[in-house]
Structure 1
Amino acid sequence: MMASDNISPDEARAKFAASLSQMYRKEIPQYGTLLELVSKINEKVDKEAPHQDPLKRVEVERHGAIRLGTPEELAMMRRLFRLMGMEPVGYYDLTVAGLPVHATGFRPLNEASLLYNPFRVFTSLLRLDLIKDDALRNQVKKILSLRSIFTSRCIELIEQLEKSPDYPQSTVDELIQEALNTFRWHETSTVDIGTYKELEASHPLIADVVCFRGPHINHLTPRVLDIDAAQAAMQSHSLKAKSSIEGPPPRQNEILLRQTSFLALEENIAFAGGSQGGSKHRARFGEIEQRGMALTPKGRQMYDELLDRFNRTCAQLPPHATWEWKSALLRTCFEGFPDDLDTLRREKLAYFRYYVIEGPRRPLVVTDIDSLVQAGCVRFTPITYEDFLPASAAGIFRSNLSAGGEQLQSSLADKEGFEKALECSINDEFLIYSKIEQSSIAACLDC
């Protein structure tokens, strides 16, 4: 086979993301409406002031989310994503928000791959140790042991490509089609209605993970350059947007990640054994996100402290407090977080990429990057945050699940257990951003 018939992991990822988006658009028509709204807003915003990330990247940008039930499912999913140039980055403990899962985000690591297509998948794993009832926990284990979320052909293709130095396009295309079967919606539950109700009563998320043939993708998220405009647009187009935007308040220089969604659809379920009950399942929804700059550990600590202050204050508000009220409080709490790029850079609160400017005279003695910045020889731009926020993810998840569920057992984060299931170590997002920044600094100093 000629080399031209082979494709790269980046190309494989882009093809998979496009195929997944097309499939989800057929399953959830409102998602198509969301894409159209987002595209119009992005075009308008970028025309008024070109964004630091090229519009061609932003327009194809998506993140998805899936929930897995067993370590074996997680390990195979990692192998599938690795073929598409996606590695696990960051550990997220969602039990602190009352959700019986922990997670990682699979995404590209290097700048060129992110620019080509920054597709990412927030991947959660059910924590069986948090199910209090022993009999119910054993029942869940049995149900999950009887399913295979990957087709046998999908596994064969994964194993074949893992052994090959090349990625034949025809093989990758077949793999994508087989993998879509894992992510698509199956309206027939693998359990009877009684079991579904029992698991739902334990926690709606447990029912979503356990009771179906596979981890149907529960949302696919486009990136928008103005999430406040997108929130208003959703409401004007009769999409049932959640009342609040998750994440930091709006700023001149956005940080981290802001997210919102239209509420999950109520979908009919056909139960195993022909049992009927008219039950509806709520899990799949449409989400949008606005990405800001990546924060350093120092900046992230400041962010977490301010968010904690906001949450503690909110807990004391009267029950009738509106989102407008809370939004104003959030902005007040974050007034102490610098909102100009030079301060963020000098105080090492965020990560930046540095570029040499042609023209200005270079200082005779260059000791560090600051001397080049002060001489006007180097400019800098923020590095985009490519990862997730556990509190925001939990907020989105909670608003799109059925009400109910018992109190979870208290627990500690279990990164070691997650990595054991993953069969590899998780990449540290701070090290990734720092490496990009330091590489750009070294290039400027060497010029």
Structure 2
Amino acid sequence: MNPQQFVHPDEIRTKFSSAMSGMYQAEVPLYSTLLRLVADTNTQEMAQNQELTRHLQQTGEIERLTMERHGAIRVGTAEELQMLRRLFAVMGMVPVGYYDLAPAGVPVHSTAFRAVHETSLQACPFRVFTSLLRLELIEQPTLRQLAADILAKRTIFTPQAIKLIVQHETSGGLNRHQADDFIAQSLETFRWHHQATVSTETYQQLHDQHRLIADVVAFKGPHINHLTPRTLNIDVVQTAMAEHNMMPKAVIEGPPPRHCPILLRQTSFKALEEKIAFVSNGGQIIPGHHTARFGEIEQRGAALTAKGRNLYDHLLQSAQDQLNVPVNENNAAQYSAILSEKFSQFPDDYPTMRAEKLAFFRYFPTEKGLITASIQEIQEIQEIQEIQEMTLDELIDNGFIQYEPLVYEDFLPVSAAGIFQSNLGEKGQSHFTGHSNKADFQRDLGIAVIDELQLYEATQQRSVAECAAALKLTLLSQ
């Protein structure tokens, strides 16, 4: 097949994201309410903050604002994880980062399937936080084996989805008809199933060990457990959720409110109790209920360097140590105050963050810089000769180059665990003693995960090189 007939992975990802949103809104109507609330909040924020609106337009972020940023899925076996990797590859998504949630009481480790190049992220930023159940953390050997046996019997992908994945791998792409079929078939993996595949007794055993284990093991497929729109003011949405019949979690995960946002702030409405059906050993249908699916909101900020991330982790841990108890509705205000006080040590302006190398930035030429570059083609003047000798900092100081923070495109393990725990109830607070095992995860995944810091560094370097080319500089030192 002519490669020109292939549908671009960015387009497949965009259509898949839209189709999944439609499916999830139909399954969880309250999520539609959340989307409207976020859209109204964003409109209000832009109307009240012209500087913010200008920044969104300048960076192109305004075009991505209405796109859902991510979903989350949990699988039970290495075979399921590997096929998901192959499925996401059709959409130009690869595994980025390793997250171990076990220390925070959630028996999974995870990665984020996403696009990696800024051009693809601009086209569609959708990603899927994908977790693999760590069966070795189930304490009872008989229950551990039972869970493994149940998972071994299920197939979470349709035969046609697998056929199209293989077609993509052998041909190098899918035509339009195949791409549309692939999207429809892939959605079935993420669809909710009301009927459990286990008895009430087995479900309760799994549930008593950990609610998430029951959620992964007891159903025909992994079902998407949440989708996440992006807001410009998560604090407003957090307050407004209760007014729209949504019960928000106690606190917003991540850093406190800042003038210059960093990393990721997340909150959610708590998971809904949904009716399900069990089948007894005698074939009888027994009604029950299950709690797992919810709506999440996120507000993204600057991607931090290793130095910036170390400072963030230190300040967050310091705040949690001072509180010294799990955060809940009763101490949420106290924790927020402690968090704000601790993070006063983190610079809250981009020039300082850049000077101290705490965050990654994208550089681009100013209008003055481009005009000067065009003059250079006609004549040589003293100023142009001086520009050739300037460093990046000097070009910024003299108005030839601007910069903006790179948006953080990944996740925070503590925040992810906090979101999961708030939607699993108090029994989700168990502590697991298993060690972080990135090597095992990568073995089960079938390939190594990509280091997200290297991606941000590469994006930053590309922007510097593009500035040098646009300004006709023979050498641009940082």
Band the TM-score falls in, shorter-chain normalisation = over 0.9
Change (3 A) 1:61 1:108: same
How far residue 406 of structure 1 moved from its aligned partner, in angstroms, is: 8.8
The aligned counterpart of 1:302 is 311
Query: Which of structures 1 and 2 has the bigger CA Rg?
Result: 2
Look up the SS of the partner of 1:372 in the other structure: helix
Equivalent AA in structure 1 for residue 98 of structure 2: Y
Aligned equivalents of 2:429, 2:420: Cα separation in 1? 16
How far residue 160 of structure 1 moved from its aligned partner, in angstroms, is: 1.0
Change (3 A) 1:324 1:43: same
Aligned length: 447
Change (3 A) 1:420 1:320: closer
Aligned equivalents of 2:227, 2:30: Cα separation in 1? 11
Aligned equivalents of 1:441, 1:97: Cα separation in 2? 39
Contact 1:131 1:409 in 2 (8 A): no
Aligned equivalents of 2:136, 2:233: Cα separation in 1? 40
Aligned equivalents of 1:316, 1:387: Cα separation in 2? 27
Match status 1:236 vs 2:259: no
Look up the SS of the partner of 2:396 in the other structure: helix
Aligned equivalents of 1:357, 1:299: Cα separation in 2? 27
The aligned counterpart of 1:222 is 229
How far residue 402 of structure 1 moved from its aligned partner, in angstroms, is: 4.0
Which residues in structure 2 correspond to 1:306-317 (within 5 Å)? Answer: 306-315=315-324
Equivalent AA in structure 1 for residue 321 of structure 2: R
Look up the SS of the partner of 1:59 in the other structure: coil
Equivalent AA in structure 2 for residue 92 of structure 1: Y
Percent of aligned pairs sharing the same letter: 48
Which residues in structure 2 correspond to 1:32-431 (within 5 Å)? Answer: 32-47=32-47, 48=49, 49-50=52-53, 51=56, 52-273=59-280, 274=283, 278-315=287-324, 321-359=330-368, 363-404=386-427, 407-431=430-454
Deviations 1:210-240 (A, max 9, x none): 0000111000000111111111221221211
Equivalent AA in structure 2 for residue 64 of structure 1: G
160-169 or 362-371, larger mean C-alpha shift: 362-371
Q: Which runs of 5+ in 2 are unaligned?
A: 370-382, 472-478
Contact 1:255 1:293 in 2 (8 A): yes
Aligned equivalents of 1:2, 1:439: Cα separation in 2? 31
236-245 or 414-423, larger mean C-alpha shift: 236-245
Change (3 A) 1:158 1:375: same
Aligned equivalents of 1:82, 1:179: Cα separation in 2? 12
How far residue 161 of structure 1 moved from its aligned partner, in angstroms, is: 1.5
TM-score (norm 2): 0.90
Q: Which runs of 5+ in 1 are unaligned?
A: none
Question: Deviation above 4 Å: which 4+ runs of structure 1?
Answer: 1-5, 274-278, 316-321, 405-409
Contact 2:363 2:460 in 1 (8 A): yes
Aligned equivalents of 2:105, 2:173: Cα separation in 1? 44
Contact 1:241 1:262 in 2 (8 A): yes
Aligned equivalents of 2:132, 2:329: Cα separation in 1? 35
Deviations 1:392-417 (A, max 9, x none): 11001001114426955412111111
Aligned equivalents of 1:201, 1:294: Cα separation in 2? 38
68-77 or 127-136, larger mean C-alpha shift: 127-136
Contact 2:197 2:219 in 1 (8 A): yes
Match status 1:442 vs 2:451: no
Contact 1:65 1:218 in 2 (8 A): yes
Look up the SS of the partner of 1:40 in the other structure: helix
How far residue 278 of structure 1 moved from its aligned partner, in angstroms, is: 4.4
Contact 1:189 1:271 in 2 (8 A): yes
Equivalent AA in structure 2 for residue 265 of structure 1: L
372-381 or 3-12, larger mean C-alpha shift: 3-12
Aligned equivalents of 1:275, 1:426: Cα separation in 2? 45
Aligned equivalents of 1:339, 1:5: Cα separation in 2? 48
Aligned equivalents of 1:318, 1:162: Cα separation in 2? 46
Aligned equivalents of 1:419, 1:90: Cα separation in 2? 11
Change (3 A) 1:12 1:317: closer
Equivalent AA in structure 1 for residue 346 of structure 2: F
Change (3 A) 1:91 1:303: same
How far residue 321 of structure 1 moved from its aligned partner, in angstroms, is: 4.7
Aligned equivalents of 2:88, 2:105: Cα separation in 1? 28
Look up the SS of the partner of 1:88 in the other structure: strand
Change (3 A) 1:232 1:316: closer
Contact 2:74 2:131 in 1 (8 A): yes
111-120 or 42-51, larger mean C-alpha shift: 42-51
How far residue 43 of structure 1 moved from its aligned partner, in angstroms, is: 2.2
